[in-house]
Amino acid sequence: MLKVRFAPSPTGYLHVGGARTALFNWMHARKNGGKFILRIEDTDKNRTKPEYLNEILESLRWLKLDWDEIYYQSQRFDIYREYAQKLLEKGLAYQKDEAIFFKYQFNQIKINDLIRGEVTFSELPKPEEVIIKRDGSPTYNFSCCIDDALMGVNCVIRGEDHLSNTPKQILLYQALGFDLPEFAHIPLILSPEGGRLSKRYGATAISDYKKEGYLPEALVNYFLLLGWSAGDNKEILALNQAKELFKLKDVNKTGSAFSLDKLKWVNSRYIREKDSSQLASLLKDYLESEGHPYARANEDELKTAVNLLSGRLVTLADFSSQADFLFEENVNYSSDSLEAIKDKLVDEIKELIKALGTIDNFQENVIESVFRETAAKLNLKPKVLVHPVRVALTGKRKGPGLFETMAVLGKDKVTKRLAKLVEYWESRE
């Protein structure tokens, strides 16, 4: 049976690169009826932190990358000692001070990498390698090799940054008489300029993306297309579909550039595709986790707001600033919105207030025809009236459809807010 593993070290948060490695492992396992092992490489007592571990586990759960088995290397020190002992007994290791060194003869090593094809390792810098440190903890190469072998991992999928470790691990497999797994090294994720991924470009913890209002489905969709495609240039592809199509051999051999704009686009698409109850409940959870006062809105209020705004949200975090005019009693005019009004249409807005006041059925289509009739009567193009009315109602220059917005706000709020703008203008004459 196919067994793969994701082996994060809880010495930092889960980042884009790690999440994508986990995702590719998960997809390969799920596509082929294999098992996905999560191995926590927490051998470094000083650098391992519980908050990193929690973040890694929570982020993987949030992304829905479920695992079949979980192991902690910190609980397996006896096993590493036992295997170090075996190497000592075979004369393949020696002790110096408290540490144990593995010594090897190096001849060329060739592997058939499932992504990169044939890879040849021609030299290693030293004829020895520490396997147990002076503090008794194993080194990464040693514990990794023993665990992969004992856990039955037969396909090691990891970032290309580990390629230089592979020959050392192969030598250890051979020295201990273990069968070699297959290897697949995934090319790195690069910044848009082609360099290392920096904090500015997506080297952000997955939990930060959550806080910034990204949806897990959107992140997964974006990550899975970072270096892989099903061959049809499809940009919206859910995990469920992707796992049926995924093939390691289709993973690109060269690095892929991270694009925050693309991620935002994918996120906005996923937001738009949710129905209003789903999105309202996601927003409720999000606002609650942020301790935002709009979390107190009831489901109907949130659904109404979502119906009006979902097409304009890039992330869930955009909601509170865009929906403020729905939840606040008074509108705050943004500085640019007032400045952009060329003429103060005091009499015209008063006329509009009167006309709107006569509507019994305050619905979008009725509002629209009354609005247009009033503009015609005043000899104004409707769009000349639209702008100040939008500012009066929402405080902003841009927003969702005006008549829909008016219907959602209701007659009372609409007329009051229009009157307020008139008052504001008059007080400044």
* For ligand GLU, the closer CB: 20 or 162: 162
Q: Does residue 137 sit in helix, strand or coil?
A: coil
Position among 3, 30, 158, 210 found at the interface with ligand GLU (CB under 6 A): 158
Whether 155 and 182 have beta carbons less than 8 Å apart is answered as: yes
Please indicate whether residue 243 is annotated as part of the active site: no
* For ligand GLU, the closer CB: 148 or 217: 148
100, containing H or E segment:
strand 99-103
Q: Write each residue from 5 to 24 as x if it is in contact with ligand GLU (CB under 6 A), else as -, in one continuous string.
A: --xxx---------------
Q: Which residue lies nearest ligand GLU, judged by its C-beta?
A: 158
Closest CA to 4 of 40, 31, 38: 38
Closest separation in Å from C-beta 18 to ligand GLU? 7
* For ligand GLU, the closer CB: 206 or 266: 206
Tokens of 186: 């995934």
Closest separation in Å from C-beta 388 to ligand GLU? 57
385, containing H or E segment:
helix 382-394
352 binds ligand GLU (CB under 6 A): no
Per CB under 6 A, the segment of 1-9, 83-91, 295-303, 338-346 that binds ligand GLU is: 1-9
The sign of the CA dihedral 257, 262, 264, 269 is: negative
Closest separation in Å from C-beta 75 to ligand GLU? 16
What is the distance between the alpha carbons of residues 297 and 300, in angstroms, rounded to a whole number?
8
144 binds ligand GLU (CB under 6 A): yes
* C-alpha separations of 264 from 212, 218, 260, 277, 392 in Å: 11, 9, 6, 22, 30
Q: Which amino acid is at 187?
A: P
Position among 3, 4, 10, 41 found at the interface with ligand GLU (CB under 6 A): 41
Closest separation in Å from C-beta 87 to ligand GLU? 20
**SS3 track for 145-213:** HHHHHHCCCCEEEEEHHHHHHHHHHHHHHHHHCCCCCEEEEECCEECCCCCECCHHHCCCCHHHHHHCC
* For ligand GLU, the closer CB: 9 or 204: 9
Q: Does residue 351 sit in helix, strand or coil?
A: helix
56, containing H or E segment:
helix 50-62
162 binds ligand GLU (CB under 6 A): yes
Please tell me which residue in 64, 126, 168, 199 is annotated as part of the active site.
199
* For ligand GLU, the closer CB: 21 or 315: 21
38 binds ligand GLU (CB under 6 A): no
Closest separation in Å from C-beta 290 to ligand GLU? 30
- Please report, as ranges, the residues that interact with ligand GLU according to CB under 6 A: 7-9, 41, 144, 158, 162
Which residues are part of the catalytic machinery?
A: 199
